[in-house]
Structure 1
Amino acid sequence: MLQFSLWKKLLIWGACVLGILLASPNLRYAQVEEYNDASAALLAGAEETPELLAKSKQWPSFLPSSLVNLGLDLRGGAHLLAEVHLDEVYSARMDDLWPSVRDALREKRDVIGTIRREGGPVDELHVRISKPEAIAEAVAAVRALARPVVSLTSAGHTDIEVTSTGADVIVSLSEAEKLSTDQRTMEQTLEIIRRRVDEAGTREPTIQRQGTDRVLIQVPGIGSAEELKDLIGTTAKLTFHAVVGRTGDKDARVQSRQILLPAADEPGVYYILEKTPVITGDQLVDAQAAFDQNNQAAVSFRLNPSGGRIFGEYTANNIGTPFAIVLDNSVVSAPTIRSHIPGGSGIITGRFSVEETAKLSIQLRAGALPAKVTYLEERTIGPELGQDSIDAGRIACFVAFAAVLIFMFLSYGLFGVFANIALIINVALIFGLLSLIGATLTLPGIAGIVLTIGMAVDANVLVFERIREELKSAKGPARAIELGYERAFSAIVDANITTLIAAVILFVMGSGPVRGFAITLGLGIITSVFTAIWVTRLMISMWMERRRPKTIEV
């Protein structure tokens, strides 16, 4: 086992050198981080200012530049726990369902008479017919609109339930559809929040679901929780409505098919709008910060082909009438349609600053949050606290590292020196792999590295103790070393596989900091076995070939 072919030697040392190179950018963390940001900005087409060019030359381009991402507890940042109001989605579904229900009942007008939408709970649609004796025909017509629920756990169920009370047809979502809607809403909320945070250029955010209706958001490196809330705290729901009228009375009575919304830029002014929008932000494909004809900050938008066709037909058929652009339940603009607007593009004007248009365009591009979000918990973690954590973790690593190095040298002499060199390579390999996969290092992750440092010498201790036993049997040095590695191999593999299984379970079942600990522990086990079985043995083999000692002392 002490004989290594040339290709094996090259492969082992090559892996060590590659790991050290991948880990090296972390020694100049701030410098390499500025280099990465500048390089990304130049690649995106930013103006080549002297400062940006200087930062882009702070690190050699031929060397790896991937860094270990620092978690919230190390870098500082913002923490939010948000609650998603799922009941609002049910209300929106009822509003979307109303045109289909209305058209289905109109086809039966000669039997059921006239129809009118009535008020009711937010998760129900109430429609009154003028001929109560024909309520069964009305229920049957609406029930025909039901569709199967697309879900593995809800096979055989339909999406709506239709009942009647007197002259009212009552439509509601089935329990199976509510469960499916809740799941889709939470997945959509997570994705939209992630896209908004990613568009802002933040690194390695933690965005995950907690319970049935809550979302945990942790973003390292952001200034404050308020800044994070400004980015993701609004739904940025864009809709276009027909204007019925305008009033100064905030308590004005409106019909059930209408809504009363305030004007964003005109205090005391309210618009009466058709409740069902002509088009929605779901048909939006792009939004960019721009300037209008008066050189005022605005947001330009572009609709998909379906939205563009509807927008074009509506403007062609309603020339001379006002058209409200509604953002988050306030009318930002209500221009009069002067001519047909083909192509599905337009501009949103208002009293926006340049910063507001940039933020609004990010929110619109990412899409509208499907429901209102409220914040149950918010914390801002300052960089000073993060630096304290880094310093404490660094001290813990150095103390553990020094203690292990001294112990191995005093216990095993020259062989302990070989183990110490392998341990240094082992730590470099851990950071190299963390940088390669873009993992996030948290305070528990540092604990995992400290634990790995202590565990890393276990394999070497097993081997060296076994070599001592073989030397007592009057075997030669080479044979004793071979038998030591051969007979300790199974114990090394067994011990590390069980720990690796525990790390995998922690990663799969855990979340947040627990996963950070599991990642560093798992990678540390893999690199420890590699350095103990191959790197240390290769160093001993090369020493034996050069010195050819008659006796050895472990």
Structure 2
Amino acid sequence: MRIKNLAIFLLIIIVAGLSTFTAFNGLRIGEFEISPISEVANLGLDLKGGVFVVYEADTDATGRELDEQITQTIEVFRRRVDSMGLTEPSIVREGDNRIRVELPGVEDAQEALDMIGRTAQLQFLTPEGDVILTGGNVRRSEVTYIKGQANPVVNLEFDSEGTRNFAEATEEFLGQSIFIVLDDEVISDPTIRTVISNGVGHIDGGYTVEEASTLASLIRAGALPVELEEVRSSTVTASLGVNALQSSVRAALIGIVLVLLFMLIVYVIPGFIANIALIFYILFVVGIMVVLNATWTLPGIAALILSVGMAVDANVIIFERIKEEIRLGKTIRSSIDAGFKRAFRAILDSNVTTLIAGVVLYQFGTGPIRGFAITLMIGIVVSLFTAIVITRFLLKLTVNMNLTNNIRYFGVQGGSYENNRK
């Protein structure tokens, strides 16, 4: 049994070491390849360089009408940014009537700002490419259902000029397709099935609810353009971003190494166990961030370092409870069980309150604050798992290996060794 536990323990250490090596350096076996974190991580503009701009909507709208206008504007921004081929842009609402756009990796900042900030151009074109009407002629665009039809349609209503022009076009091009174009990109090409003279028509393309809602939103965005005023903008050069990344990683490594040394010196065997669990903790958090395709920012790295401290804090609480039980004369095995039981409530309470703070930050924060909140919440959940599950499992493996009865190796000074045998 002792040999078996020792083998499992050594296997876990080997897995931790290989996982850490692979995370930093990658791994390739034949055609199978795992890229290092540095290549797959999505970096925010404060680490990668890029540009951010905050726009304010110049509108008298309030409430639901304002919400719709901001949503439509964000959708147009997103389509334009996607056409630029950028990775991990961030386009979020900031406050009531502001929109924050972050574009990591932009080389020509002014060109990017000019592209995303211009007024949306929506046009209805004939098969020959002539303009029938523009977004300014669309009064209403909404999703609706037609009796006897399962899929939703996009219902359109035009003003007087649009009604006249559209009636003439549908009569001339009956049976052909017209093209709805937003910023020189075709977003729909419905076929004219009947002459539409009353200024009300619908686009039936077998859409899902989501597809119909997106199309209606894009058409409304062209019909109801929101005047935007640039409130502030900033450009982070690529070199500045690289320097920030290097400084952040260096600071994180120094902090983590100091924590590992502290745990090893103060708690000895439990400290060594905690260090292994901490390595798994960091690997889990980084892995989850990569799987979620999350963007790394300076606030996010700060949240990771903070959550490392919280993960260690959970282990400290557990180990102190174990030491108390040992001082009472209990065996090391029973002290571990009692220590985890007594520490669980305190650890859970502290982590839940911090998790609530993270949820509030994410709900009401914007931009970098949300990045901080996401990393913090992920770290809290993972720290609970590593402290309660991994640390406990490894401690029990150590006890079962029966390497020592000396309670000093569990951070307890003095006391009777004979009274604390396993």
Residues of 1 paired with 2:170 and 2:320: CA distance?
A: 89
Match 1:216 to one of 97, 100, 121: 100
TM-score w.r.t. the length of structure 2 is 0.68
Residue by residue over 1:523-552, the C-alpha shift from the partner in whole angstroms, topping out at 9 and shown as x without a partner, is 111111111111111111112222264443
| Structure 2 stretches lacking a partner, 5+ long | 139-153, 189-214, 411-422
The alignment-based identity, stated in percent, is 35
Instruction: Say whether residues 1:392 and 2:260 are aligned partners.
Output: no
Residues of 1 paired with 2:73 and 2:180: CA distance?
A: 26
8 Å Cα contact 1:84-1:371 kept in structure 2: yes
Instruction: Say whether residues 1:377 and 2:232 are aligned partners.
Output: yes
Match 1:344 to one of 174, 177, 192: 177
CA drift at 1:180: 4.3
8 Å Cα contact 2:125-2:178 kept in structure 1: no
Instruction: Say whether residues 1:71 and 2:68 are aligned partners.
Output: no
Residue by residue over 1:434-480, the C-alpha shift from the partner in whole angstroms, topping out at 9 and shown as x without a partner, is 11222222111111111122221111111211221211222222112
| Letter aligned with residue 86 of structure 2 | T
CA drift at 1:239: 4.0
Compared with structure 1, are the counterparts of its residues 24 and 179 closer, same or farther at alpha carbon in structure 2 (3 Å cutoff)?
Answer: farther
Match 1:545 to one of 400, 407, 410: 400
8 Å Cα contact 2:123-2:180 kept in structure 1: no
Structure whose alpha-carbon radius of gyration is higher: 1
Compared with structure 1, are the counterparts of its residues 550 and 236 closer, same or farther at alpha carbon in structure 2 (3 Å cutoff)?
Answer: closer
Match 1:60 to one of 17, 22, 32: 32
| Structure 1 stretches lacking a partner, 5+ long | 1-5, 33-56, 88-176, 243-276, 285-303, 319-339, 349-357
Residues of 2 paired with 1:59 and 1:442: CA distance?
A: 32
| Letter aligned with residue 382 of structure 2 | T
Residue by residue over 1:97-132, the C-alpha shift from the partner in whole angstroms, topping out at 9 and shown as x without a partner, is xxxxxxxxxxxxxxxxxxxxxxxxxxxxxxxxxxxx
Instruction: Say whether residues 1:529 and 2:409 are aligned partners.
Output: no
8 Å Cα contact 1:476-1:550 kept in structure 2: no
Match 2:268 to one of 388, 413, 420: 413
Q: Equivalences for 1:52-451 in 2 at 5 Å?
A: 60=32, 67-86=40-59, 180-239=64-123, 278-280=132-134, 314=168, 343-345=176-178, 360-361=184-185, 369=222, 370-451=225-306
8 Å Cα contact 1:393-1:446 kept in structure 2: yes
Q: Equivalences for 1:468-479 in 2 at 5 Å?
A: 468-479=323-334
Residue by residue over 1:137-186, the C-alpha shift from the partner in whole angstroms, topping out at 9 and shown as x without a partner, is xxxxxxxxxxxxxxxxxxxxxxxxxxxxxxxxxxxxxxxx8754333222
Residues of 1 paired with 2:124 and 2:357: CA distance?
A: 54
8 Å Cα contact 2:93-2:100 kept in structure 1: yes
Residues of 2 paired with 1:202 and 1:183: CA distance?
A: 26
Q: Secondary structure at the match of 1:223?
A: coil
Instruction: Say whether residues 1:467 and 2:322 are aligned partners.
Output: yes
Residues of 1 paired with 2:315 and 2:406: CA distance?
A: 20
Q: Secondary structure at the match of 2:407?
A: coil
CA drift at 1:346: 7.0
8 Å Cα contact 2:120-2:183 kept in structure 1: no
Higher helix proportion, which one? Answer: 2
Compared with structure 1, are the counterparts of its residues 545 and 212 closer, same or farther at alpha carbon in structure 2 (3 Å cutoff)?
Answer: closer
Compared with structure 1, are the counterparts of its residues 317 and 415 closer, same or farther at alpha carbon in structure 2 (3 Å cutoff)?
Answer: closer
Compared with structure 1, are the counterparts of its residues 314 and 429 closer, same or farther at alpha carbon in structure 2 (3 Å cutoff)?
Answer: same
Partner of 2:198: none
8 Å Cα contact 1:467-1:480 kept in structure 2: yes
Residue by residue over 1:218-246, the C-alpha shift from the partner in whole angstroms, topping out at 9 and shown as x without a partner, is 1112223312224323224244699xxxx
8 Å Cα contact 1:78-1:220 kept in structure 2: yes
Q: Secondary structure at the match of 2:32?
A: coil
8 Å Cα contact 1:77-1:222 kept in structure 2: yes
CA drift at 1:407: 0.5
Q: Secondary structure at the match of 1:219?
A: strand
CA drift at 1:63: 8.3
| Letter aligned with residue 286 of structure 2 | F
TM-score w.r.t. the length of structure 1 is 0.53
Q: Secondary structure at the match of 1:457?
A: helix
CA drift at 1:205: 1.9
| Letter aligned with residue 177 of structure 2 | G
Partner of 1:27: 24
Q: Secondary structure at the match of 2:91?
A: strand
